[in-house]
Amino acid sequence: MAESGGAGRGNCCCSFIFTSGLTALFLWLSLRTSKPTCSVQNFLVPSLNKTDNSTTTRNNHTIFFDIKLDNGMKDKGVHYDTINLTFFYDQNYSFPIATYTVPGFYQGHNKHTSRKAVVETNGVPWEAAFEAVSNGSTVAFRVGLATRVKFKILVFYTKRHSLIVKADIPVNDFGKKVNKKGIKLKSNSPHPLSHRLRLEFLGVIFIALIIFLL
Ligand SMILES: *[C@@H]1O[C@H](CO)[C@@H](O)[C@H](O)[C@H]1NC(C)=O
Ligand SMILES: *[C@@H]1O[C@H](CO)[C@@H](O)[C@H](O)[C@H]1NC(C)=O
Ligand SMILES: *[C@@H]1O[C@H](CO)[C@@H](O)[C@H](O)[C@H]1NC(C)=O
Ligand SMILES: *[C@@H]1O[C@H](CO)[C@@H](O)[C@H](O)[C@H]1NC(C)=O
Ligand SMILES: *[C@@H]1O[C@H](CO)[C@@H](O)[C@H](O)[C@H]1NC(C)=O
Ligand SMILES: *[C@@H]1O[C@H](CO)[C@@H](O)[C@H](O)[C@H]1NC(C)=O
């Protein structure tokens, strides 16, 4: 098998594998996408603010939120479909206390934006909540975010991917989110994404092989 022609073919084969490997890696890196990061930057519940004991504030059953949406990709845009926000109180996840929709929009490379609003709530047991924070405990609100995003690579859009994340927000007797830092909204299932990326990687290698064989 050690003929001179065979050695030539071997070299050729090596550089072929090397080049297609590099191409596959390059394609994979340039097509790879990551979903935007969402975090609760601010969350206020005036009615639970013990310091402000006016009856108008105590009977103010609104919540104020400020949610940051962050596209960390340096070379790809994100288009958000209508974003559904759903709020819950204290593990009562069968009964939303408030909902809010953010109209869809496009977000450029490496951009972040905030969406904030005051929303009226329904069904929060305010007396019990106020008693709990007055006693020095915190009460937990939850926000769930659901939308679909597609990524813009150069001038092309990818197909849509669903973005479903949530976070629990502990609130204290200042009627304020306890954590100073933003609270990141997380998905229930982080695994399918990396699985999908592996599948895409294999697909790209396969395509690169076919291109080089032609
Ligand atoms: C709570 O009420 C006090 C007194 O009115 C006010 O100074 C403070 O800003 C309020 N805190 C929040 C988080 O609204
Ligand atoms: C309301 O708060 C002020 C100061 O925080 C306090 O002086 C006053 O007694 C409070 N009133 C009631 C009814 O708790
Ligand atoms: C109720 O609280 C919100 C902030 O969450 C504030 O914007 C609004 O003016 C308050 N309403 C009243 C009637 O005090
Ligand atoms: C959930 O909230 C609704 C509305 O306030 C209430 O009727 C229901 O009893 C709550 N469920 C639990 C398990 O707290
Ligand atoms: C708050 O404390 C009072 C007495 O200090 C107690 O009777 C009440 O059950 C407590 N409430 C909560 C929600 O922990
Ligand atoms: C958002 O809510 C609307 C109306 O309830 C619904 O049609 C849509 O499918 C929801 N979007 C997502 C991503 O869940």
Q: Does the CB atom of residue 95 touch ligand 4 within 6 A?
A: yes
Instruction: Tell me how far apart the alpha carbons of residues 8 and 24 are, in angstroms, rounded to a whole number.
Output: 24
Contacts of 207 by beta carbon, 8 Å cutoff, 6+ apart: 27
Bigger pLDDT: 57 vs 193: 57
Instruction: Tell me how far apart the alpha carbons of residues 144 and 162 are, in angstroms, rounded to a whole number.
Output: 13
pLDDT interval class at 28 (50, 70, 90): confident
Query: Over the stretch 121-131, which tens digit does the pLDDT of each residue have?
Result: 999 999 999 99
Mutate to test the pocket of ligand 4, among 88, 93, 94, 95 (most ligand atoms within 8 A of CB): 95
Which tokens belong to 173? Answer: 């007797």
Atom number in ligand 1 closest to CA 54 = 5
Bigger pLDDT: 210 vs 65: 65
CA of 181 to the centre of ligand 1 (A): 19
What's the pLDDT score for residue 29?
A: 79
Query: Over the stretch 70-116, which tens digit does the pLDDT of each residue have?
Result: 999 999 999 999 999 999 999 999 999 999 999 999 999 999 999 99
Instruction: Tell me how far apart the alpha carbons of residues 76 and 49 are, in angstroms, rounded to a whole number.
Output: 42
Bigger pLDDT: 12 vs 146: 146
Report which bound ligand comes closest to the CA of 60. Answer: 3
Which tokens belong to 74? Answer: 């340096």
Question: Do 193 and 33 contact (CB within 8 A), yes or no?
Answer: no
What's the pLDDT score for residue 197?
A: 67
Instruction: Tell me how far apart the alpha carbons of residues 182 and 43 are, in angstroms, rounded to a whole number.
Output: 10
pLDDT of 172 over the 90 cut: yes
Look up tokens 């090596």; give the residue: 14
Domains and CATH numbers, the chain: 33-203 (2.60.40.10)
CA of 49 to the centre of ligand 1 (A): 6
Whole-number Cα distances in Å, 167 to 29, 156, 186:
30, 32, 6
What's the pLDDT score for residue 191?
A: 59
Kindly report the protein residue whose alpha carbon is nearest to atom 4 of ligand 2.
51
Beta strands in 103-154 (DSSP E): 105-107, 112-120, 139-153
pLDDT of 3 over the 60 cut: no
Mutate to test the pocket of ligand 6, among 35, 38, 84, 149 (most ligand atoms within 8 A of CB): 84
pLDDT of 2 over the 60 cut: no
CA of 137 to the centre of ligand 5 (A): 10
State which amino acid sits at residue 81. Answer: D
pLDDT > 70 in the chain, percent: 89
Q: What is the pTM of this model?
A: 0.82
Q: Does the CB atom of residue 60 touch ligand 3 within 6 A?
A: yes
Which tokens belong to 213? Answer: 């064989």
Element (H, E) at 127: helix 126-134
Mutate to test the pocket of ligand 1, among 64, 65, 174 (most ligand atoms within 8 A of CB): 174
Across the chain, mean pLDDT equals 89
What's the pLDDT score for residue 27?
A: 82
CA of 49 to the centre of ligand 6 (A): 33
Instruction: Tell me how far apart the alpha carbons of residues 15 and 21 are, in angstroms, rounded to a whole number.
Output: 9
Question: Do 188 and 163 contact (CB within 8 A), yes or no?
Answer: no
